[in-house]
Structure 1
């Protein structure tokens, strides 16, 4: 068995659980390990149907991950309410958040067409589409709200990169020592960024890229729209340069989104998210390199994060 085949293989208990979710006469004919996940193993399962056709499912497995039960319950809740809203998301097939049936907490969902796009080419077209999609997510008003957002980073846990602008980082850390601003709550994806959005990109017309799906709803929360915008902004800044991090908030408002009125409040949310990345640069950059952005070494991403935080303090501080 090759390494790829071993990675794609589904564990015995999980395999039996998946088989129980299939229609009579269906069977798994192929499994494929997928790259890109930070916290979970991802597998694409091709299902042979009774009429000799196929359909695809996606299996997420959380191996020794803290809070896996909570994440899977939240994702299941989100995917239950999204059908009919116009937000393209996977359909829930089954969930085993406590590993009652599987070796590890697992989640089975429908497969969406499209792929993540992390390249610089075509960014001018994709960013407005990302903004419009996020505005649509924030417009959702579920009958039952998800739990309030959680921000784990504190002023004392920030890791200032080597060679960073010490004065700018000290000022930024002081910003998040303040109490969080008041806000009007919105339905948040809470991990909205290019790595969690699927696009259909015609090979001959990259400018015609369209969104086919938004995935990874495990952190769904209720909180300020600024927080989701800040998270996508930081990702864009690290992937494509600080200017794109700044630009995303502008495009979000152009698409009809509403952010905090005061510059100090906007700064708080943007800086809070940017500083959160200081603790996990290596973790977030590795999937980008695996996806082909080999130039995004840990050091290169640290330098972009420093430039972005400095830009925020100069522009809004």
Structure 2
């Protein structure tokens, strides 16, 4: 991701953001990922309450560029992952997620159906855990068939690292939502679950619970608690065994306190709490 300063006529944008795929895995899948993001940004250009970047250009197969790339507008605001005032950001997150889920998408323009990011056979129980029964019970839950759901438009990777904020203290305001390559069609529970897992790792399990409470209070529809738990565990177990891959990027953004041991304990405590296991 690069921020570009543009020179040109007075009415030209002063800055833009260039997304370039260079890692072999992403280059292999670039055509599908970048076309999906481009289609989504075109759709969201007509939606007032979802502040997404404007699409400026896309070259998903590197026909003109050195690498597969997408050029988009630069949005105001900044990512905020700090613990200070994090509770004040939960309501705007829930409100923005609800607006995304209410985007009206014609059947012919729907994105692909969601893909699960883990499965029972892929979950690895942490070697250092003292509560292996927690992980076994969680795996048993996601081994069931996915619950029936009424689908909606999903960001699919909605979490604080993909949301830009402006405003100080207790009055934060969402100014942008980025990273639309995983846009999907599926249950709103899955987007809520993904954001909840991130909040649990960043700030503790109470923040995750608060997000779900606010989403419902604002008018969002989620599955009954027992069914909703399936989606929460499906997302959380995708981070097993230790959530270190996401913590690495968060530490680079200033959260040096999120050591491997700390995020591992938070993940296990969050999973245990979803199962109602005491002592978490």
Structure 2 length normalisation: TM-score? 0.93
Pairing 1:253-264 to 2, within 5 Å after superposition? 253-261=216-224, 263-264=225-226
Structure 1 pair 301–52 and aligned structure 2 pair: CA distance change class (3 A): same
Paired with 2:13 and 2:39, the residues of 1 have a C-alpha distance of 27
Shift of 1:105: 1.2
Match of 1:74? 36
Match of 2:20? 61
Q: 1:152 and 2:110 equivalent?
A: no
Larger Rg: 1
Paired with 1:280 and 1:149, the residues of 2 have a C-alpha distance of 24
2:90 to 127, 146, 152: 127
Q: Deviations over 1:199-219 (max 9, x none)?
A: 0133xxx21211100000000
1:244 to 185, 207, 221: 207
Paired with 2:119 and 2:13, the residues of 1 have a C-alpha distance of 48
Q: Deviations over 1:248-288 (max 9, x none)?
A: 11111011110002x32111100000001116722211110
Paired with 2:51 and 2:2, the residues of 1 have a C-alpha distance of 20
Match of 2:153? 187
Greater length-normalized contact order (CA 8 Å, ≥ 6 residues apart): 2
CA contact (8 A) 1:164 1:306 kept: no
Paired with 2:137 and 2:247, the residues of 1 have a C-alpha distance of 25
Q: 1:225 and 2:191 equivalent?
A: no
Higher deviation after alignment, 284-293 or 68-77: 68-77
CA contact (8 A) 1:187 1:223 kept: yes
CA contact (8 A) 1:165 1:310 kept: no
Q: 1:288 and 2:250 equivalent?
A: yes
Match of 2:167? 201
CA contact (8 A) 2:87 2:207 kept: no
Match of 2:65? 102
What SS is found at the alignment partner of 2:14?
Answer: strand
Structure 1 pair 164–146 and aligned structure 2 pair: CA distance change class (3 A): farther
Structure 1 length normalisation: TM-score? 0.82
Paired with 2:143 and 2:11, the residues of 1 have a C-alpha distance of 60
Paired with 1:113 and 1:242, the residues of 2 have a C-alpha distance of 29
Paired with 1:228 and 1:256, the residues of 2 have a C-alpha distance of 15
What SS is found at the alignment partner of 2:276?
Answer: helix
Match of 1:29? none
Shift of 1:299: 2.1
5+ unaligned residues in a row in structure 2: which ranges?
Answer: none
Q: Deviations over 1:171-215 (max 9, x none)?
A: 00000110000000010000000000000133xxx2121110000
5+ unaligned residues in a row in structure 1: which ranges?
Answer: 1-41
2:271 to 298, 309, 315: 309
CA contact (8 A) 1:190 1:220 kept: yes
Q: Deviations over 1:8-55 (max 9, x none)?
A: xxxxxxxxxxxxxxxxxxxxxxxxxxxxxxxxxx10001123239861
1:174 to 125, 140, 149: 140
What SS is found at the alignment partner of 1:95?
Answer: strand
